[in-house]
Structures are given as C-alpha cells and as structure tokens.
C-alpha cells in the first residue's frame, strides 16, 4: 500500500468542555450529568478557599475537601487522598487548580476509575490529557491511560483573575510549548494544526496584556481559551525534545516545571523549527514574527519569566548528564539529536544567550497553509548567536 505524504490519524478524546465566565456555578449540573452523588473536591493547600466554595456549590453532593495536592503528585499524597475518598464514600472528584491538583485527580482515577471533573485555574493544560504522573523515592513515573482523562472540564476565566503574573506567564509558555511540539509531532493532524495556531496566537496576545493588567477580563478569557487549545494539542500528540528536556531537568535536577518550559522554548525553537518547515510557518504566522525564537524570548521577557537555566539552579557541570539522558532514550524529534547540538542548545539556555532564528524575513509561499504538503526545502540549522 502506498502512503501519501499528507496521511494522518486523529483520535478525538471523549470529554466535555464547558467554557465561560461564571460557569463554575454549573458544577452541580455537571456532576449530576455524570451521575455523581458524593463528590470530593481537591486543591492545593493555598487554594482551599476556592475548593470550599466549589464544595458549597455542590450542597448535598459534596463529600468533603482534600486540600493536600502538591507538585508532581507524590505517591504518599495520592494514597492519602484515596484513603479519604474511600472513608467518605465518594464516587467522583472535582480537581480545582493547576496541573498539580488535576494530577492528583488523575492519580486517583488511575487507581480507582472514579470520574474526574477538572476546573483549571492555570494554563498548564493537564485537564485536556490522558497523561498521568506519580513521584516516588525521587523518581517521577508518567504514562497515558484513557481512565485518567477528565470527563468534564469547566473553564471559568474568573477563577484566573488572581493567578499571579509570574505563574500566568510561565504556565502560559508551558501551554505554548505543547502547541509548538504538536505541530511537528509524528502524529500531528490538520485539526491539531488549527488548535495549535489559534492557541499560540491567543496566548501570545493575552500574556503581555495580563502582565500589564492582571485582572483584565478579556485577556484572561483569551489566555484560558489558548490554554484549552494548547492542552488539547498535548492530549492528542506525542511530544519531542522540548518536553523530554523539561522532564529530565524537572525529574533529575528538580528544576521548577513551568519556568523550565518558559526558559527552554525559544532555544528548542531554534533547534527544531528549521527541520520542520510547516510547523515553522504556522508558528511564524501565529506569533506574527519572522523569527519565532526571538518572539518567544521577547514574550518571556514581557511576562517576567526567568531568562536562563542558570537562574533556575542548573550548573554547567550538569549538562553532560542531561545530554546523556536525552540521547539514551531519545523522543521522536524533527531535527537530528546530536551531542554537539544538544550541548550547544543547553549551554545557550544555561547562560540565557539571546536565541535567534533563521534570517529570512519572509516566509516562502509554500508555508502559507498548514495543510499544504511539506516542501522539500530544508534550511540548515543555525547555531545560537
Ligand atoms: P501548580 O498546579 O503547581 O500551581 C502553581 C501554584 O499556583 C500552586 O501553588 C497553586 O496553588 C497556585 N494557583 C493555581 N491557580 C491559582 C490561581 N488561579 N490563583 C492563585 N494561585 C493559583 O502549577 P501548574 O504549572 O499548573 O502545574 C504544574 C504541574 O502540572 C507539574 O507537576 C506538571 O508535571 C503537571 N502537568 C501535567 C500535565 C499532564 O498532561 N499530565 C500537563 C501540564 C502540566
């Protein structure tokens, strides 16, 4: 059988998205729609008040609040939450918060099969994916399982008005990284290309506006809509070098999740986009820039994101171990993964050397549409300057 170059497979994920200001109020109806009678509300300790408000909306359907969620889902926290759920006889969870809280809901679903309603309050995107993670003895295990995909996601921009500007900026760049990598994923598709372009465009416009006016309703609405689209990209495709580097740096060097994404994205764009011309064209169009790496770095600066891996605590002596781990089990990637290339990328990111993309100021006409076939043209990869 001959496979044509534009063949693709797209598997839509079975979930319901409820989006709009004030729509958290519809939580009781959404719980009823799933047939839930006793629901445990999850949050981090800092968001207990919001979890209590959600529980009060649920009135007779609320089983209680577990406000112990922590970053990277420690296995003992997941076990404590499961015990509490059993003790209270809950038949489902509502995870109100960022990726840490939604991750706890997924860990509970992985073990028990209980349905999760996600109410995201950051832009990280976990609510749109079947990806779970659990950390035990300093090691984070991850996997994909349809059982952990939230059944319903309620996006209420009002819940993000108080999200601190620095967390908004870094988690927004975390979301954009999902979309950029989805565009050159081995399992990308025309649907995902549309989601990715719109998601990147929404966040690129909204994040600087949020930095200037954190409570701006229009900017918050646009950022959360972008986060939804970018999260859907993560849920539907296989990630590449950028996510692998973040996984290694978070898992083995304890670098913070969203700031690491924010620092690395422009450097990975320089490395990968020249080898992925269609993705490159879409990212240029979405960012309205002939130099995506530079535009992404400018965006990071505009939202006050950290500038370098050195700022996050990585040392030059750590780089060979990072490179070894990437090369040991490389993810699929559009550009060849070489020791020299990865060391150059990481050294630039370690020092915060300004990244610059290809010199062309005009996009060749064959890149105008994401659904046109790839050009045979491959520009040589540029070194960091
Ligand atoms: P987070 O959930 O840890 O939240 C960061 C901090 O912001 C927390 O202290 C939280 O309480 C606070 N916060 C959240 N929303 C707030 C709001 N609206 N107002 C004020 N404070 C608020 O951070 P995150 O970046 O959303 O998630 C990171 C975690 O998610 C990582 O563990 C990462 O691995 C995981 N993640 C998983 C997936 C996936 O598909 N499985 C995708 C993305 C991220």
pLDDT for 90-129, tens place per residue? 999 999 999 999 999 999 999 999 999 999 999 999 999 9
Residues of the chain with pLDDT under 50: 358-385
Interatomic CA distance for residues 294 and 185, integer angstroms: 22
pLDDT of residue 380: 31
Strands (E) across the chain are located at: 16-19, 39-42, 62-66, 92-97, 116-120, 131-136, 139-144, 152-155
> Dihedral (C-alpha) 289, 165, 345, 356: value to the nearest 10 degrees?
20
Residues lining ligand 1, Cβ inside 6 A = 44, 46-47, 71-72, 97-101, 103, 121-122, 124-126, 129, 131, 133, 159-160, 162-163, 167, 171, 234, 257-258
Question: Ligand 1 centroid to 98 CA: how many Å?
Answer: 3
Say how far apart CA 266 and CA 62 lie, in whole Å: 44
Q: Could you give the 3-state DSSP secondary structure of residue 92? A: strand
The per-residue pLDDT for 2 is: 59
**Main-chain phi, psi angles of 42, to 5 degrees:** -110, 145
- What pLDDT score does 385 carry? 21
pTM above 0.95, yes or no: no
Q: Which residue of 100, 155, 258 sits with most ligand 1 atoms within 8 Å of its CB, as the best mutation to test the pocket?
A: 100
On whether the CB atoms of residues 201 and 292 are closer than 8 A, the answer is no
The Cα 336–Cα 23 span in angstroms is 45
- Nearest residue to 233 (alpha-carbon basis) of 274, 177, 279, 275: 177
3-state secondary structure of 15: coil
Question: What does the pLDDT read at residue 7?
Answer: 87
Sort strands 92-97 and 39-42 into parallel, antiparallel or unpaired.
parallel
């Amino acid at each position: 059988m001959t496979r044509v170059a534009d063949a693709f497979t797209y598997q839509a994920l079975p979930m319901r998205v409820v989006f709009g200001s004030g729509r958290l109020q519809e939580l009781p109806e959404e719980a009823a729609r799933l047939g839930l009678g006793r629901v445990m509300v999850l949050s981090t300790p800092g968001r207990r008040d919001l979890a209590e408000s959600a529980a009060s909306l649920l009135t007779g359907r609320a089983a209680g609040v577990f406000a112990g969620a922590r970053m990277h889902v420690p296995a003992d926290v997941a076990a404590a939450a499961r015990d509490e759920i059993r003790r209270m006889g809950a038949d489902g969870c509502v995870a109100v918060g960022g990726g840490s809280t939604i991750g706890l809901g997924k860990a509970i679903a992985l073990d028990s099969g209980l349905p999760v309603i996600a109410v995201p309050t950051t832009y990280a995107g976990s609510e749109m994916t079947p990806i779970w993670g659990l950390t035990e003895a300093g090691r984070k295990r991850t996997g994909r399982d349809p059982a952990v995909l939230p059944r319903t996601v309620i996006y209420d921009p009002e819940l993000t008005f108080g999200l601190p500007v620095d967390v908004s900026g870094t988690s927004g760049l975390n979301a954009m990284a999902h979309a950029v990598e989805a565009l050159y994923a081995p399992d990308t598709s025309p649907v995902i290309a549309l989601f990715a372009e719109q998601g990147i465009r929404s966040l690129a416009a909204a994040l600087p506006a949020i930095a200037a006016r954190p409570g701006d309703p229009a900017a918050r609405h646009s950022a959360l809509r972008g986060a939804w689209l970018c999260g859907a990209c993560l849920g539907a495709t296989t990630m590449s070098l950028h996510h692998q580097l973040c996984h290694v740096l978070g898992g083995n060097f304890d670098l913070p999740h969203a700031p690491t994404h924010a620092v690395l994205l422009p450097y990975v764009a320089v490395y990968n986009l020249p080898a992925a011309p269609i993705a490159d064209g879409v990212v240029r169009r979405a960012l309205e820039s002939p130099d995506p790496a530079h535009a992404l770095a400018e965006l990071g600066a505009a939202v006050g994101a950290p500038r370098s891996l050195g700022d996050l605590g990585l040392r030059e002596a750590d780089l060979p171990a990072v490179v070894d781990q990437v090369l040991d089990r490389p993810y699929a990637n559009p550009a060849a993964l070489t020791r020299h290339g990865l060391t150059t990328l990481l050294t630039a990111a370690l020092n915060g050397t300004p990244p610059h993309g290809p010199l062309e100021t005009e996009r060749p006409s064959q890149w105008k549409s994401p659904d046109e076939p790839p050009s045979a043209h491959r520009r040589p990869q540029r070194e960091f300057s």
